[in-house]
Amino acid sequence: MRVDVVAVGTELLLGQIVDTNSSWIGEQLAAHGFDSLLQIKVGDNLGRVESALRRSLADADAVIVCGGLGPTHDDLTREAIAAVMGVQLEIHDDVADRIREMFTARGRYMAENNLRQAMVPVGATVIAQTRGTAPGLICPVRIDGVDKVLYAVPGVPHEMKEMLERAILADLHRRSGEVAVIASRTLRTWGESESGLNERLDPIIAELETLGNPTLAFLASGWEGLKVRLTAKAATAQAAALVLDEWSARVHAVVGQHVFGFDDDTMESVVLQMLRERGLTLALAESVTGGLVAARLTGIAGASDVLRGSIVSYASEVKFDLLDVTRGPVVSESAATEMALGARRVLGGTLGMALTGVAGPTEQDGAPVGTLCIAVVIGDEVHTTTARLPGQREQMRQMSVITALDYLRRILPTANV
Amino acid sequence: MRVDVVAVGTELLLGQIVDTNSSWIGEQLAAHGFDSLLQIKVGDNLGRVESALRRSLADADAVIVCGGLGPTHDDLTREAIAAVMGVQLEIHDDVADRIREMFTARGRYMAENNLRQAMVPVGATVIAQTRGTAPGLICPVRIDGVDKVLYAVPGVPHEMKEMLERAILADLHRRSGEVAVIASRTLRTWGESESGLNERLDPIIAELETLGNPTLAFLASGWEGLKVRLTAKAATAQAAALVLDEWSARVHAVVGQHVFGFDDDTMESVVLQMLRERGLTLALAESVTGGLVAARLTGIAGASDVLRGSIVSYASEVKFDLLDVTRGPVVSESAATEMALGARRVLGGTLGMALTGVAGPTEQDGAPVGTLCIAVVIGDEVHTTTARLPGQREQMRQMSVITALDYLRRILPTANV
């Protein structure tokens, strides 16, 4: 069953509010096995709202329209729905009474225009409001001889979510008679380009295109690496999980060590867990990343089990005086090694890691923009590497964080601890 | 001129990524005087992308399509545009060479499918890529006898924004033939709520509603504070600037010290500049923010003139052993003071600032979630304060950074340096 979404509100088009409602609704629909193939944002204009509703109903089985149910002159959704249904609006006295009561109970004066929220298209049923003043609507409508349905919900997120969960999803299931479940699993990768992954996975992609289920998609997430998302449709949650297990294992086997986690895992949550499992504590020294590595790790509740802290040795003198780095060029694997040893000594901890590099705009110590030197010291072992990252300042700094954490992730399994 | 937006990506419909691109584009279009009346999200399906482009071009003068320009089999935007234009795709050798160079410069293997990004619809021009591998496209297309244009940009936000600012907005102005200049000035504020600002500015807002030009809008930007944006339309850039000067000064006078900067200023760029002007150098000690303050400051090129570094003393023992904080509760103004003195001693510098607080989920040392203690030491002066911030972990950490930098900003003018 296809369920598309129309979000009403000029502020959405002007970028004053980001449309998170459509995203959330789309996520719920997918979790319940409904396809949402088109989502539209339209402003507070009666003609354009009506047109958006008509176009969505032409292709979808059901449409959820979100917003424009308030009391002001900008709130046009009821009128637009009535036009699409070809009916009048009529006042529902019980709804009007409920609205009056809500104001009385809060000791507030009720402006008359609130009663516009008690107007209902003839033939529609009301979804009683619990949180706001506007009720939702379930509006059966016949389009080109086919019975369809239009659901109207308020634009205020917590009001909308409550009505969707309480009334609309159940109504959709009733109408669809379908039993399908849709589930996804995402493999998080770092270290291979999108096109490289695509190439490795070509045989699997070809098989899946023939099978049709599951589907495989690549999602780039900025500097968070590349995700490979498998989406399976099946009769039950268990059956969907089995399909995902099978194909996830096949993709993992092909992509190998570039996979650092699944679903909601982040590079930092994975690395913290690996350190925790091995009883290791981490001391950091950062320069070019200026605290971003520690900031990422401390974003995870429970990081304090593992992370001692970080010395952000931004000024060169701090490297020399506090961390005992040899005076001289500071963008090198040997400087990074001294920084890591210095951090471990100053902060305590069993493992030290340091990053030093050049974010730009100018090169430093003969090292070109984008150079990143990483050192990890564990016991008496010293591991170092140099990476070449893109030259845009913020991009270089953010990618340095993940590159360094990924380097640590790959070293740990074979380190002598 | 009407410019609608199509965002391509199944992950948008599934709610895995929120469509912030359309919102940002809509905001830029509005600031430049273009109407955006419909914005669509569609999945990675060739037929539906083509259909969405055709429908948008039927009603708009120009369409910006965002996403689907990568190298993988899911990336269909080029093909969809070519179908709408009724042309073939051809390879542009200079684009292909540039893509190859990008991989070579980073010492990376280039999978062949990257060259799909060098395919261009016949008749379209290329917007050279600077940050990612995919170029953008400017595609003139004739719809029902009317000349229109389709702009394609990558879905990766920083790539999209850069291309829109560099190439697309100027092209739209050129095509619109409008002689008016639209210019904006934004006052960045921190420390007053949106309804508080609105109330203070009521008289000015009323005057502007009568005048019609300039317009005033409030933009909330998450934890970056509240922006008051004035937008003026005039015959020349100088005339627009004069209007903005006049009203910006009036708004500033009313809002006062809550204004920390203008336009692209950030709290950190403003504070760095104030420190630089006073010849001060800064040593930081952070705990709850885990390096975020130093990371923000080091994001600004030239921060090294001012910032010595940061001691991210995440484990309590590091506070006691390295910073000489008295053993005991660490979430207090006195602990913050000792941290600030310790940071200044260990890192060098004329000014020390420290943050200690409770991000959650549990309280600490008797301090409730959301507590932030800040201390600034300048010469022999000690300044401290305690703030109460929202209890959601990441929100609390991010707001702590701005709150502390704002505190420093307000202290500096009267400090004895």
- B10-24, B100-114, B277-291, B396-410: the lowest-pLDDT one: B100-114
Contact B378, B402 (CB under 8 A): no
Task: Render pLDDT for A315-332 as a digit per residue (tens, 0 to 9).
Answer: 999 999 999 999 999 999
CATH annotation of A267-414: 3.90.950.20
**What's the pLDDT at A183?**
84
Q: Please report, for chain B, the start and end positions of each structural domain, with discontinuous segments joined by +.
A: 3-176, 181-262, 267-414
The most distant pair of C-alpha atoms in chain B lies apart, rounded to whole Å, by 79
**What's the pLDDT at B360?**
85
Please check whether the two domains, B3-176 and B267-414, share a CATH topology: no
pLDDT greater than 90 at residue A224: no
Share of chain B above pLDDT 70, in %: 99
CB contact under 8 A, B20 and A18: yes
Alpha-carbon distance A59 to A63, whole Å? 10
Helix, strand and coil percent figures for chain A, each rounded to 5: 45, 25, 30
**What's the pLDDT at A317?**
95
What value does the mean pLDDT of chain B take? 93
- CATH fold for domain B181-262: Alpha-Beta Plaits (3.30.70)
Task: Work out the pLDDT band at B222, boundaries 50, 70, 90.
Answer: low
Task: Work out the pLDDT band at A415, boundaries 50, 70, 90.
Answer: confident
The average pLDDT across A385-396 equals: 92
- B134-148, B186-200, B335-349: the lowest-pLDDT one: B186-200
CB proximity B45 to A under 8 Å: yes
**What's the pLDDT at A211?**
93
Residues of B in contact with A405 (CB under 8 A): none
Alpha-carbon distance A287 to A312, whole Å? 6
CB contact under 8 A, A389 and B106: yes
Architecture of the domain delimited by A3-176: 3-Layer(aba) Sandwich (3.40)
**What's the pLDDT at A205?**
95
- A136-140, A231-235, B58-62, B323-327: the lowest-pLDDT one: A231-235
**What's the pLDDT at B298?**
96
Residues of A in contact with B13 (CB under 8 A): 26, 30, 36-39
**What's the pLDDT at A223?**
76
**What's the pLDDT at A194?**
84
**What's the pLDDT at B293?**
98
Task: Render pLDDT for A238-295 as a digit per residue (tens, 0 to 9).
Answer: 999 999 999 999 999 999 999 999 999 999 999 999 999 999 999 999 999 999 999 9
What are the strands, taking DSSP E only, across B318-380? 351-357, 371-378
CB proximity A25 to B under 8 Å: yes
Quick one: residue B145, left, alpha or beta (phi over 0 = left, psi -120 to 50 = alpha)? left
Quick one: residue B361, left, alpha or beta (phi over 0 = left, psi -120 to 50 = alpha)? alpha
Share of chain A above pLDDT 70, in %: 99
- Strand, helix or coil at A173? helix
pLDDT greater than 80 at residue B391: no
Residues pairing with A62 in the sheet: A3, A149
What residue in A sits closest to B305 (Cα-Cα)? A315
Task: Render pLDDT for B358-389 as a digit per residue (tens, 0 to 9).
Answer: 998 889 989 999 999 999 999 999 999 999 99
The average pLDDT across A192-199 equals: 89
CA A132 to chain B, closest CA, distance in angstroms equals: 20
**What's the pLDDT at B221?**
67
pLDDT greater than 80 at residue B405: yes
CB contact under 8 A, A299 and B308: no
Task: Work out the pLDDT band at A7, boundaries 50, 70, 90.
Answer: very high
DSSP A369-416: TTEEEEEEEETTEEEEEEEE--SSHHHHHHHHHHHHHHHHHHHGGGS-
Task: Work out the pLDDT band at B109, boundaries 50, 70, 90.
Answer: confident
Residue in B348, B356, B291 with CA at minimum distance from that of residue B326: B356
Window 103-122 of B, Cβ < 8 Å to A? 103, 105-114
Task: Work out the pLDDT band at A174, boundaries 50, 70, 90.
Answer: confident
CB contact under 8 A, A390 and B20: no
pLDDT greater than 90 at residue A182: no
The average pLDDT across B402-411 equals: 97
The most distant pair of C-alpha atoms in chain A lies apart, rounded to whole Å, by 83
pLDDT greater than 70 at residue A179: no
**What's the pLDDT at B392?**
82
CB proximity A344 to B under 8 Å: no
CB proximity B334 to A under 8 Å: no
Task: Give the ipTM.
Answer: 0.77
pLDDT greater than 90 at residue A67: yes
Residues of B in contact with A37 (CB under 8 A): 13, 42-43, 45, 48
Task: Render pLDDT for B121-159 as a digit per residue (tens, 0 to 9).
Answer: 999 999 998 878 899 999 999 999 999 999 999 999 999
CA angle A406, A246, B14 (to 5 degrees): 70
Residue in A15, A7, A126 with CA at minimum distance from that of residue A56: A7
Residues of B in contact with A22 (CB under 8 A): 15, 19, 41
**What's the pLDDT at A206?**
95
Is pTM beyond 0.80 here? no
